Chain A
Amino acid sequence: MATESEELESLVNRRYEHGFVTDIEMDTLPPGLNEDVIRAISARKNEPEFMLEWRLRAFRMWLEMREPNWAHVHYPPIDFDAISYFAAPKSDADRPKSLDEVDPKLLETYDKLGIPLHERARLAGVAVDAVFDSVSVATTFKEKLSEAGVIFCSFSEAVENHPELVKKYLGSVVPQRDNYYAALNSAVFSDGSFVYVPKGVRCPMELSTYFRINSANTGQFERTLIIADEGSYVSYLEGCTAPMRDENQLHAAVVELVAMKDAEIKYSTVQNWYPGDEEGKGGIYNFVTKRGDCRGANSKISWTQVETGSAITWKYPSCILRGDNSVGEFYSVAVANNFQQADTGTKMIHIGKNTSSTIVSKGISAGKAQNAYRGLVKVMPQAAGARNHTQCDSLLIGKECGAHTFPYMEIKNQGAKIEHEATTSKISADQLFYCRQRGLSEEDAVNMIVNGFCKEVFNELPMEFAVEAQALLNVSLEGAVG
C-alpha cells in the first residue's frame, strides 16, 4: 500500500536519473514546509521585508486551503512535506560532463526537433563553459532593450532593482488566495521573469525566456509578471520545444499579465515537459495559474499555447476584460498521448463595455489519453455589448482515448452575444488512404492531418515558433497510429 506515495516521494526526490554521483549540496533546504523555510528562502534571496511578509501571508492562506479535486485528472496524493523548497543552482561538478553522458533517447528527440548542438547541451543540463554563442547574442539583445526602456530581467533582479514596480503589481492579477497552487507558489516561488514596457513603447523584439541569462534554474515554482503600460506592445515567448529534463515532479507556476490603456500583450507558450514513459510513469505534474488583466480601455491580451508535455496538465490561461472595448483571445492546441491527462481551458470575464473575447481550442487525444476542455465565459451585468465566440474542436486518434468538453457560461447581461461551436472528429480511414495513395507514409499522413487541424492556432504563433511547434507535434504523436 505504501508503494504509491513512496514511489512519488522517490520521484520527487530523485536527483539524477542516470546515476551520476551527487554530493549532498550544502545549500539545499531539507524537505518540508513551514514558516522557517519561507524565512530561509527569503533570506537566501536577500529580499526586502515586504516580500517576506507577502510570502508569509500567502503561506498562512495556503494552510487553510484544500487541493482542488474537480479537474478531470487523477493522480496519487502529493506529499508537500517531501519536497525541498530551495535548492541553490547546481555546481558544474554535479552535471553531466558532456553529451555522451546524456540519455541517448533524449538526444534522439533533440535531433528530430532540429535543436542546435550547443543548445542541446544546455537543455540536457550539461556543464558548459560559460561562453558560448547565445551569451553574446543575449548581450546585444539586452542593449537594444534598454535603449527602448524595456525592463526584462529575472524576478529576483526585479525585486532588487525595481521593488516599487514589484510591490505595485505583484498579486494584483492573481491574488495569493486565488487557488491552492497559486497560494503555494506565492509562498515559496523561486524565480521567474519580469517585464515592464513603458508608455508608448513597442518592444523592439520578441522576448523569450531563452535570452534571460542568469536564471537557467528557475525551479518548480516559477513566477512571471509582465506589465504593458499605456499604448505599449510586447510579445513574449515562453517555454521550449525540447523536452526539459527536470527532477521536480510538481510544477506550480503563476503568470500575471497587466495591460493598461491601449496596450497589447501577446503571450505564446510551447510547452513540452516530460510526459512520462509509455506507461505514464515519471511525468511532470503541471499546475499553472495564468491570468491577464486588461486593465485599461482598448487593451488586448492574447494567449496562444501549444501543450504537448506533462503527465498531468491543469491550466486555464484567463483574461479579465475590465477596460471598455478590451479584447481577450485564447488559442490553444493541447495534445495528450499515452497515459497523459490534460485539463485545460480558459476563462473570459467580461466586465467593461463592448468587451470581446475569442476562444479557439483544439484538443488532440491519442493512445489512452484523456483530454478535457473546461471554459468559462462570464459576462457581468455592467458589461453591455459583450461578445464571445468559442470554437472547441477535438480530434481523436485511436479508440481508447477520450475528449471531454465542459463549457460554462454565466451571462448576467441580456445584450451579450455568445456563440459556442464544438466538434469532435476522428482521422478518417478515407483521409489516411487518400494520403497514402499519394505516397505519404501513414505517420506523415497523420502528422499532416493533425497539423491541418491545428492551423488556426499555429497561425497565431510567431513564425519560428510555429515551425518548431509543428515539429514538436509530430514527435509527440509518434507511434500514435498503427
Chain B
Amino acid sequence: MLDIKNLSASVGGAEILHDLSLSVGTGEVHAIMGPNGSGKSTLAQVIAGRDDYDVTAGSVTLDGEDLLELDPEERAREGVFLGFQYPVEIPGVNNAYLLKAAVNAQRAHRGLDEIDVFEFLKLAKEKMALLGMDQKFLNRGVNEGFSGGEKKRNEILQMAMLEPRLAILDETDSGLDIDALKAVAHGVNALRSPERSIVLVTHYQRLLDYIQPDHVHVLSGGKIVRSGDKTLATELEERGYDWLKEAANG
C-alpha cells in the first residue's frame, strides 16, 4: 500500500525528515509515536502534498503510484485522507456543504454522478450517530467555534464519509474526553478493513488500547529509530524516549 523510501524533506531551508523509510501494508494499522518536534506532522503533510515542504530526496508511492507527482486534491481523490492535528476554521462555510463537495469531488474522480441530497443527508446522519455527534454540526460553519474535541470528531466524520484507502490521523486523540476517545476509536475501527490502511500519529498508549495497531514506530529527529509490535507502545509509556534518542545518536 504505502511505501516511503529514503525520504528527505525540508521547510524554509531546514531539513526536518532525513532519509526516512516506512512501509504500511494493505489492511494494516500502524502507530507513529515520538517526541514533540520530531517530524510526525511534517511526514503526514508531505504524504498529503502540502507544498510548503520541499521533498529533497526519496519517494512516496501508494499501491505503486507516485504520490509526489500529484496535487494535494488528486491525492485526496485517490483516497489519501489526512486528519489534521489542528483543523482549520472556515467561517461562513457550511459544514455539510464542504462535506458534500468533498464527497462529490471524489465521486467525479471515479466517474460517478453527484450524490443525491437525500442520500447524502441520510449517510451523514448515520455516520454522525456512530460518532455520537449532534446533527446541528452539519449546519455550522466548518470548525467555526468548535471545541477542540468537536473539531477532532468532525475530522473523523469526514473520514467516515470519504472512506479513504489510506487514512493518516495526526493526533486525533489529543484533547478528547473519554467518551469522545471511545467514539473516535469506534469510528476508526468501523473503517478498518482488509482494503484499507491506517496510520495513527499519537502520543498516548490510551488510544492504542482501543485501536490495536499491527505495528508501532518511533520517529525521532526526522527518522524512524525503532519499530515493533504494540508492546513497544507500552514500553515507551514506561521509559519515555530518551533511551531511543541516545541509541539513535550513539
Does chain B have a CB within 8 A of A454?
Answer: yes
Provide the bound-state CA to CA distance between A451 and B106, in Å.
22
List of B residues within 8 angstroms of A449 by Cβ = 90, 93
Judge whether A434 and B84 touch: CB under 8 Å: yes
Output the residue of A429, A431, A437, A451 with the most chain B CB within 10 A.
Answer: A437
With A439-B73, A439-B102, A448-B98 as known contacts, state yes or no: A434 contacts B90, CB within 8 Å: yes
Give the nearest-CB partner of B89 in chain A: A431
Q: Would you give the 0/1 interface string for B97-110, flagging 1 where the beta carbon is closer than 8 Å to chain A?
A: 11001100110010
Closest 6 CB pairs of A and B: A452-B92, A439-B105, A452-B93, A455-B92, A438-B102, A439-B76
Question: CB-CB < 8 A to B90: which residues of A?
Answer: 431, 434-435, 448-449, 452
In the assembled complex, the Cα of A444 lies from the Cα of B71 at a distance in Å of 14
Chain A residues lying within 8 Å of B217, measured Cβ to Cβ, are none
Beyond the given pairs A440-B105, A451-B92, 12 more chain A to chain B contacts, judged by CB atoms under 8 angstroms and listed by A's residue number, are A428-B88, A433-B72, A436-B73, A436-B76, A437-B49, A437-B73, A438-B162, A440-B73, A440-B98, A448-B93, A448-B98, A448-B101
Complex contacts, B88 vs chain A, CB 8 Å:
428, 430-431, 434
Q: Which residues of A contact B (CB under 8 A)?
A: 428-431, 433-442, 444, 448-449, 451-456
Shortest B137–chain A CB gap in Å is 16
Name the residue of chain A whose CB is nearest to the CB of B82.
A437
Q: From the candidates B71, B81, B94, name the one contacting A436 in the complex (CB within 8 A).
A: B71
Chain B neighbourhood of A438, CB < 8 A: 76, 98, 101-102, 105, 158, 162
**B residues less than 8 Å from A431 (CB atoms):** 88, 90
B52 interface residue (CB < 8 Å to A): yes
Q: Cα distance A274–B36 when bound, in Å? A: 54
- Does any Cβ of A come within 8 Å of B46's Cβ? no
Determine how close the nearest CB of chain A comes to the CB of B110; give it in whole angstroms: 11
Tell me, in angstroms, the Cα distance from A185 to B84 when the chains sit together.
57
Instruction: Please state if A433 and B50 are interface contacts (CB–CB under 8 Å).
Output: yes
Kindly list chain B residues whose C-beta atoms are within 8 Å of the C-beta of A448: 90, 93, 97-98, 101
Q: With an 8 A cutoff between CB atoms, is B32 at the interface?
A: no
A438-B158, A439-B106, A440-B101 given; A452·B73 CB < 8 A: no
- Residues on A with C-beta less than 8 A from B52 are 429
Q: Is the CB of A435 within 8 A of B92?
A: no
Contact A442 B73 (CB under 8 A): yes
CB distance from A481 to the nearest CB of B (A): 13
Is B27 in contact with chain A by the CB < 8 A criterion? Answer: no
Shortest beta-carbon distance, A478 to chain B, in Å? Answer: 17
Contact between chains at A439 and B109 (CB < 8 Å)? yes
> Complex formed: what's the CA distance from A455 to B93 in Å?
8
A448 and B100 CA atoms in complex are apart in Å by: 12
Q: How far is the CB of A19 from chain B (nearest CB, A)?
A: 41
Q: Is B203 an interface residue, CB under 8 A from the partner?
A: no
A452–B97 CA distance with the chains assembled, in angstroms: 10
Give complex CA distance A433, B48 in Å: 9
Q: Is the CB of B98 within 8 A of A435?
A: yes
Contacts between chains A and B (CB distance < 8 A), count: 75
A-B contact pairs, 15 of them (CB 8 A): A429-B52, A433-B48, A434-B84, A434-B87, A436-B76, A437-B72, A437-B81, A438-B101, A439-B162, A440-B73, A448-B97, A452-B94, A453-B91, A455-B92, A456-B92
Query: In the bound complex, what is the Cα–Cα distance between A46 and B119 (angstroms)?
Result: 62
Complex Cα spacing A2 to B236, Å: 80
Q: How far is the CB of B154 from chain A (nearest CB, A)?
A: 11
User: Is the Cβ of B73 less than 8 Å from the Cβ of A441?
Assistant: yes
Task: Please measure, in the bound complex, the distance between the C-alpha atom of A434 and the C-alpha atom of B76, giving whole angstroms.
Answer: 11
| Cα separation A459 to B207 with both chains bound (whole Å) | 43
Q: Is B141 part of the contact surface with A, judged by Cβ < 8 Å? A: yes
Chain B residues with Cβ below 8 Å from A451 are 92-93
| Complex Cα spacing A441 to B74, Å | 9
Flag whether B165 is at the interface (Cβ < 8 A).
no
In the complex, whether B223 has a CB less than 8 A from a CB of chain A is: no
B101 touches A444 (CB 8 A): yes
CB nearest neighbor in A for B106: A439
Give A362's nearest chain B residue, CB to CB: B92
Contacts of B153 in A (CB 8 A): none
Q: How far is the CB of A216 from chain B (nearest CB, A)?
A: 37
Does any Cβ of A come within 8 Å of B40's Cβ? no
Task: List residues of chain B with CB within 8 A of the CB of A439.
Answer: 73, 76-77, 101-102, 105-106, 109, 162
CB closest chain-B residue, reference A427 = B90
Min CB distance B71 to A, Å, is: 7
A455 to B52, CA, bound (A): 30
**Residues 59-92 of chain B, each 1 if its beta carbon lies under 8 Å from chain A, else 0:** 0000000000001110111000110100110111
Output the least CB separation between B199 and chain A (Å). 15
The one of A437, A441, A444 in contact with B48, judged by C-beta atoms closer than 8 angstroms, is A437
The residue among B82, B101, B158 with the most chain A CB atoms within 10 A of its own CB is B101
Residues on the B chain within 8 Å of A456, using CB: 92
CA of A438 to CA of B142, assembled, Å: 13
Nearest chain-B residue to A428 (Cβ)?
B88
> B75 contacts which chain A residues (CB < 8 A)?
437
Question: B101-144, CB under 8 A of A: which get 1 and which 0?
Answer: 11001100100000000000000000000000000000001100
Contact mask for chain B residues 178-216; partner A; CB cutoff 8 A; 1 contact, 0 none = 000000000000000000000000000000000000000
Residues from chain A with Cβ under 8 Å of B87 in the complex: 434
Residues of chain A with a CB closer than 8 A to B92's CB: 451-456
**A428→B106 CA distance, assembly (Å):** 24
- For A441, the chain B residues whose CB sits under 8 A away are 73, 105
A430 to B90, CA, bound (A): 10
CB nearest neighbor in B for A434: B88
